[in-house]
Amino acid sequence: MKRLIAAVLLLGTLLCAMPACSDHLAAEEAVPQKTTAEQNGTEIKNENKEDTRIVLPEDYPEGFTVGFGRAEISPPLPVTIDTYGDGTDAEILREPLYATCVAVCDGENAALMFSLDMKQSTASVIEQFEKTIEKKLKIPASNVTFTATHTHNAPIPTVKDNPANVKWLQTCYKAIPQAAAEALRDLAPATIYTGRGDTTGMGYVRRYLMADGTYKGIHSGNPSEEYVGRESVADPELRTVRFDRGDKKDILMVNWQCHAASSASDKINKKYVVSADFIAPMRAGVEKNLDVHFAYYNGASGNVTFSTKFPGEKVYGSNMDCGAALVGIVEGALKDETQVQSGKVEVRTAVIEGQVRTETEERVNQANLALKAIEDEGLSNKQLYARFGFNSKRDCTHTISRGTKERTISINLTAIRFGDVGFAGAPYEMFDTNGREIRDASPCQTTFTCGYTDGSMGYMPSDDAFPHGQYEVYACKFVSGTGEICADKLVELLSAEN
């Protein structure tokens, strides 16, 4: 029976006085169900609009329902963006940035899955997002995930000396609960369909196989005439989950093992731009052609193939071209869909204590000597490697920062399952190999593997990549094998029975 509105508001007021809990649950512990009485309206202010009121449903609809919400998070200009690790002022907004939310509900428990047009978010920013959701919507933080698309043309949340970046982050804090509330108000009965698309040739794993049997990473520069081929082919399978909601607009979720970092130095009239990368033309084309709500979830590590990367190959000239091509692939995936079962919304989390890589005192000393030689003699990367065994200056600095002190860092993992659909989220750039492992071992008919979810811990190379070194390996905080431990745990969470 539905509670009286007055009772809901009164109880909501009492709940607001209680401290919110944002701790993650243990590995196999199910998330507590959110009661009807915990859903009441509260006021927020938005600098871009008149004051609005977040109005939530008095009660969750019965059965399996899905809703969609979106709020703009475009920044003021000029704003500092992160191109390739360097702060750059962008003066042009090429297209809006969005916080997109898909809400899934089984009548008793709800989960919110956000896709954010950001490069990444720090743990502190994610914590603030979670607190905002808990405070304004009364949904536990463990039921909410935030996946960044990893566009390098988005503002940097940690920049405090540019007022535009600070204001942008405040805009995000206000947009997040608005998108979530919109998704909850939009809940409607849904039937689930899943599809597959083939993106062969569009993405690649960032390793070059050279004639001498060694590998060269993308950050080592474009391959020369010694290039033989690619280490492996990126997972070409694009996955779709479509929620058919009858008379209401369908919701389409897309997961592809390629993050939105295809053109981090985008410029218009020699000025850097703020951009959602290939996500923008993909989103616009899919929504126009198919008349659906669209949400993209960043997959495992991969890059879009452009003409400068591989001798004799030319695939896409720009991220806009890539996004337009993906529209057709998504349309093809929907032509051969499979209906799958829905079910209870289950959210499970785990904390893995990842062992941090350590360095011997001798290796740290060598790195210090190498840095001095770079400064004094201007060594090239090739000379640096020949003399000291380091790939680059950044390799040296990472080695020094790891030092010799053994320690661990907590890695928060999230698995969401509703019937035959699973969502596996990790707070790092997942390697293609581990993404495939999760996808293939998952008990779900379709599983989204999502990197940069609920934080950013940098690269997590798969075990097979460590012997070859290169940028992602020496930039990784963790010992070899950590990616496999996390992948196994995510499969375990998806497979757990209540």
Q: Which of 296-305, 337-346, 358-367, 455-464 has the lowest mean pLDDT?
A: 296-305
Mean pLDDT of 272-281: 94
Neighbouring residues of 413: CB distance < 8 A, sequence distance ≥ 6: 349, 350, 351, 352, 424, 425, 426, 427, 486, 489, 490, 493
For a pLDDT cut of 70, what percent of the chain falls above it? 82
124 contacts 158 by C-beta, under 8 angstroms: no
Predicted pLDDT at 47: 37
pLDDT digits (tens, 9 = 90+) for 351-404: 999 999 888 889 899 999 999 999 999 988 778 878 888 877 878 888 888 887
Average pLDDT over residues 211-219: 72
Query: Which pLDDT does position 310 carry in this prediction?
Result: 63
Which of 407 and 188 is assigned the larger pLDDT?
Answer: 188
Mean pLDDT value across the chain: 83
pLDDT of res. 313: 65
In which band, very low, low, confident or very high, does the pLDDT at 311 lie, cut at 50, 70 and 90? low
The vertex-201 CA angle with 195 and 207, nearest 5°, equals: 115
pLDDT (tens digit per residue) in 146-173: 999 999 899 999 889 999 999 999 999 9
Residue 258: closest CA among 299, 220, 226: 299
Res 448 pLDDT > 70? yes
| Total count of residues recorded for the chain | 498
Q: Tell me, what's the pLDDT at 221?
A: 55
Q: Is the full-model pTM beyond 0.95?
A: no
Q: Given a cut of 60, is residue 488 above it in pLDDT?
A: yes
**Which pLDDT band, with edges at 50, 70 and 90, does 474 fall under?**
confident
Do residues 264 and 221 touch, judged by C-beta distance below 8 A? no
Among residues 185, 187, 176, 157, the alpha carbon closest in space to that of 79 is found at 157
Work out the average pLDDT over 338-349: 97
Check whether 317 has a pLDDT greater than 50.
yes
What tens digit of pLDDT does each residue of 59-83 get?
A: 788 999 999 999 999 999 999 998 7
pLDDT of residue 305: 63
Question: 187 is written with which tokens?
Answer: 């809940």
What is the per-residue pLDDT for 78?
Answer: 97
